[in-house]
Copies of this chain bind each other. A is one copy, B any other.
Amino acid sequence: MTITGELIIGQTFVRGTAGDFFGIEAATGAPLPIAFGAGTKADLERACALAWQAFQPYRALPLEQRAAFLDAIGEAILALGDDLIVRAMAESGLPRPRLEGERGRTVNQLKMFAKHIREGKFLDIVVEAAEPDRAPLPKPALRRRNVPVGPVAVFGASNFPLAFSVAGGDTASALAAGCPVIVKAHSAHPGTSELVGRAVQKAAIETGMPDGVFSMLFGAGSVIGQGLVEDARIAAVGFTGSRAGGTALMKTAQARPRPIPVYAEMSSINPVILLPGALNERGAEIGKAFVASLTLGAGQFCTNPGLILAVESDGLEAFMASAAETLAGAPAQTMLTKGICEAYARGVKQLESLPAITPVSRGQSGSVTQGQAALFETKAADFLKTPAMHEEVFGAAALIVRCKDVAELEAVITHLEGQLTAALHVAASDAATAKALIPQLELLAGRVVLNGFGTSVEVCPAMVHGGPYPSTSDGRTTSVGTLAIQRFLRPVCYQSVPEELLTF
């Protein structure tokens, strides 16, 4: 497929006239060929009108047809072939194996939702028969099931240009729920977005979906982004990005005449807790594994381990030495955008400048578009009194917090903000402490990982990729795994309505 720089509005292509912009090669900062046209308010209006028009016929389709659409999107993405990978590599700076893996994940999660809706359990149907003879009053026949909420606005994420962008988890789960989707494409990978958007459009046409079930717009956050969230026809929002971006959308959504839910996945420092037994048994080994997790994808994972809480012990010194040495050998990696790379460097500098921070190790340095990994340490008492140390530095930077004992470690845990993940490294001798800590960790995070790191995210029914505020805007939900479909459903009860009158 050819990239033209056009918006996708239902089954048509439209040249955006609100100004041109270019995809940027992450490694060089140079613009890539082909200009993209930003969308206007009129483009947004047309996409919303079509999505609203498509809503009733789309949700009325048999589930098998909806599932076939999802499967077809996966096939169409695969059919893009190496063009997609090459473009995504250029725009994101991510290496080929990572993007090939991410494409696999993207296709698999579309298939997973197709299978999930074929099974039908997501409708959560409950049927209660009438009891006409019940005293003192007869009981009517009651039936409950889930219905889709309406058209959904999806904001592509920069750090997963395939799995959490145009046809990523938010889009797949919303379409699976029966909701049309309008994507605001991320400006950091417009060409990748267009290719995937065209694949979705092709699949929609080929499987006979109503026009408007999917649109994709380029454009300014203030016009297209805010405009989407303000539009009365939009019923929910999926977003992955910064806390500033997410909270701005939350405010807009709450200020509408009819407020709507925003599912924003924002920031997380994903604490890793090292207990004494684990440190003493395998401190050096954990140090190596930690650096591998920290530097994965240039540290640009939402679940990146940015905070280590460790109890003082001989094993901690072994961990520190091993982590420092491994990190020192870590190559600099191209970051997603120049802006992200600069923000990372600023964040590291700011952390470094705090009085109670001691540098532990730096990774290898690279070009101006590459991030240099960084590891610092501090004491628990200092961490507790320095809010700046609790903030996410997006990239491969982490802070080790030395805790005198388990009690001090617990105090730190209770002072943390909500997180996507919390990891706990234990040995057999730590079992009692672990058992006491897990109830704290499950209040803190959406996922608790034992003897591992949160960066491995399975796409499956048991997954929760979510967590208390501010890691997400709504800790009752997940954006990964089959449960993500629930975000776009609401229950309806039918009283004395015979089945033959129910269409869907």
Residues of A that sit less than 8 Å from B by CB: 56, 59-60, 101, 126-128, 136-137, 139-140, 142-144, 147, 149-150, 250-251, 254, 258-259, 261, 417-418, 431, 434-435, 438-439, 442-443, 445-452, 456, 458, 460-464, 466, 468-470, 473-478, 483, 489-498, 500-504
Contacts and interface: CB of A to CB of B under 8 A. Distances in A.
Contact of A139 (B261, B458, B495): B458
A22 to B, nearest CB: 35
Given A140-B456, A140-B458, A144-B483, A491 B504 contact: no
Nearest to A430: B501
B446 A491 contact: yes
A165 to B, nearest CB: 22
Given A438-B497, A438-B501, A476 B490 contact: yes
A495 to B, nearest CB: 4
A493 B446 contact: yes
Contacts of A126: 461-462
16 contacts: A139-B458, A142-B462, A144-B462, A144-B463, A144-B464, A259-B469, A431-B500, A431-B501, A438-B497, A438-B503, A447-B492, A447-B495, A448-B492, A448-B495, A464-B491, A478-B491
B144 A443 contact: no
A463 B503 contact: no
A259 B473 contact: yes
Contacts of A140: 452, 456, 458
A265 to B, nearest CB: 15
A470 to B, nearest CB: 7
A390 to B, nearest CB: 13
A439 B56 contact: yes
B442 A147 contact: yes
A389 to B, nearest CB: 17
Given A137-B456, A446-B491, 14 more contacts: A128-B458, A144-B463, A438-B497, A439-B504, A442-B494, A447-B495, A448-B497, A450-B498, A463-B493, A464-B493, A475-B490, A476-B489, A478-B493, A483-B491
Contacts of A434: 501
Contact of A250 (B127, B259, B477, B503): B259
Q: Which of A142, A431, A448, A495 has the most CB of B within 10 A?
A: A495
B447 A493 contact: yes
Nearest to A256: B469
B261 A476 contact: yes
Contacts of A431: 500-501
A490 to B, nearest CB: 5
A452 B497 CA distance: 10
A473 B254 CA distance: 10
Contacts of A496: 449-452
A144 B127 CA distance: 26
Nearest to A482: B126
A463 B150 contact: no
Lowest 5 CB-CB distances: which A-B pairs, in order? A464-B493, A142-B462, A144-B462, A447-B493, A449-B495
B258 A254 contact: no
Nearest to A424: B497
A357 B140 CA distance: 35
A179 to B, nearest CB: 12
Contacts of A59: 439
Contacts of A449: 495-497
B144 A493 contact: no
Q: Which of A261, A452, A493 has the most CB of B within 10 A?
A: A493
A10 B96 CA distance: 60
Nearest to A492: B442
A461 B494 contact: no
A477 B495 CA distance: 17
A321 to B, nearest CB: 26
A438 B499 CA distance: 12
Given A126-B462, A503-B435, A493 B448 contact: yes
Contacts of A147: 442-443
